[in-house]
Structure 1
């Protein structure tokens, strides 16, 4: 019974990176071009405000700065860095550099959660990155140092946010929906001035673009990040981050099914390798090997062209 519950939690959490894998197709087919920061803002802030309106709970005490820090790491810094890397690196290189995220999480989990890294986790992270490279790395060209640093910083930012979300848990009586709303709102508010400074006024939107933004804000962001943060509370940080390769894999499948892109035998091999690493990453260590952060009590009533990577 416990094993079945764990599988359900993993499957629901996996829906988040699967949803993020559709971002590329939605952005290229429906949204205005060359507006990555506005897209990040339109995804994060409306979704956060909707969730806040639903839960009607604001942070208290130290959770004002904790929610702001998590929102900055998971949303506010992650989105701009991700898009910056995508526009400056050739082909799927941004996805390849970003796929080192599980290795960052393994290291940060040792530092902040007391979970000793294992050879299996390190090797699984390397294999996952190799599989993703076979799927998305197509174009050749000189590597831009700024793009590489941005991709590494984006992976490090999301990894740090994942581990700190696990370390801090949630305030007593506050569910993952409220925690998601706090982070999306904080992240969106951090992106807003940068978006208007760099890109200017919002673009004019037709019906297709408006529908695309609604999808990104609700399904791709509000629901997906709620599932992600909910999963962080119930799984280990390494389990959650090893679901990340599902995002570029989904982008490749959507590109093949909906955009007429082809999948070569090498790409199919890479998909199998990356998916195998994702499954291997869900195998936890023996009980007691790593301390888990307890789930907060729930008895108190509650008063992101763009890259083929998780975004």
Structure 2
């Protein structure tokens, strides 16, 4: 007999309640102060990803996006599996596979291809449409209509990122643009599906992250080995780059990101991704000797304003956990 799930309360920044898998654990009610803390932790993920571009171009072997993607995902996933000692059960085998391919198996090679073929600023501008894509997918999957505030914040964010990172002499590779756009679409869909499915009861976020990383890494490894092969040798800089991306930029960053997705509205958490181009720009200042123009400073202000406008940290009413047979 199917169970009746009580209607979920409306999520801040939306006009209709979101759906969640029956039986999935409900995140505890958080005060505005706690929500700010959760958002700050979740923002560490995309902030860390903002260093992917400079790490790829400065530390990794050239022209091996598939190898970079595989070495970023598979070792981190296996480490998390070994630490948590938990495998999926029931329908979470296919759910973890879908999320693993969206977040890593397909997303990573597209991301690295874009990083190799585009300046970091152009890649960041393409990825800045994520909040708008999340709003669109949310309308279809979660049955949530985005508010005018969310759409306005999304447009402001795209404009701010464009001013922040684009330069007049930026080279545009159509293949790189297509890869980054496809990667951005996959990431937005993964955010919405993660919100829809929640997390299986009794499973930690580290375990859920490990499942997805392992799925993506297992899909990438044979393709990388057959299509690109291994470099003749790895330098100390190469090893440092792969280690940093795998441990800090993947295992830690994605665990914090998924924590935010679980406890914040999908629309709000998507705007935290705009910290990515901000950090990418700051990394260029620190490591590549770049400078900021007046237009870029204005873009930085717009991005920060967009992230703030996209958040709604009002206290949400308590949810009742549905009973399962």
**So what's the TM-score if we normalise by structure 2?**
0.84
Q: 1:294 to 1:22 in 2, by over 3 A?
A: farther
In the TM superposition, 1:19-34 aligns within 5 A as: 19-34=48-63
Q: Which residue of 2 aligns with 1:110?
A: 139
In 1: Cα distance, 2:230 partner to 2:161 partner: 36
1:170 to 196, 199, 203: 199
Aligned residue for 1:92, secondary structure, equals helix
Does residue 241 of structure 1 match 2:275? Answer: no
What TM-score do you get using the length of structure 1 for normalisation?
0.87
Alignment deviations for residues 42-93 of structure 1 (CA, whole Å, 9 cap, x no partner): 1111011100010000001111110010010011111122233344446632
Task: Determine the C-alpha separation between the residues in 2 that align with 1:17 and 1:248.
Answer: 9
1:132-184 CA-to-partner distances (Å, cap 9, x unmatched) read: 11111125478554433322211110000111011001111001111100111
Look up the match of 2:176. 147
* Aligned residues of 1:236 and 1:292 also touching (Cα < 8 A): no
Q: Which runs of 5+ in 2 are unaligned?
A: 1-29
Deviation at 1:24, TM superposition (A): 2.1
Gaps of 5+ in 1: 296-311
* Aligned partner of residue 311 in structure 2, secondary structure: coil
* Alignment-derived partner of residue 9 in structure 2: none
After alignment, is 253-262 or 161-170 more displaced?
253-262
Q: Distance in 2 between matches of 1:267 and 1:3?
A: 31
Corresponding position of 1:66: 95
The correspondence for 2:166, drawn from 137, 153, 176, is: 137
**Closer, same or farther: CA 33–145 of 1 in aligned 2, 3 Å:** closer
Partner of 1:83: 112
- Larger mean CA deviation between 160-169 and 36-45 belongs to 36-45
Alignment RMSD, CA only?
Answer: 2.4
Q: 2:41 aligns with which of 12, 22, 44?
A: 12
**Which of the residues 274, 293, 312 maps onto 1:264?**
293
CA contact (8 A) 1:45 1:184 kept: yes
Kept in 2, the 8 Å contact 1:91–1:138? The answer is no
1:247-281 Cα deviation digits (max 9, x unpaired) = 11101112112331111111111111111101111
Q: Distance in 2 between matches of 1:145 and 1:80?
A: 16
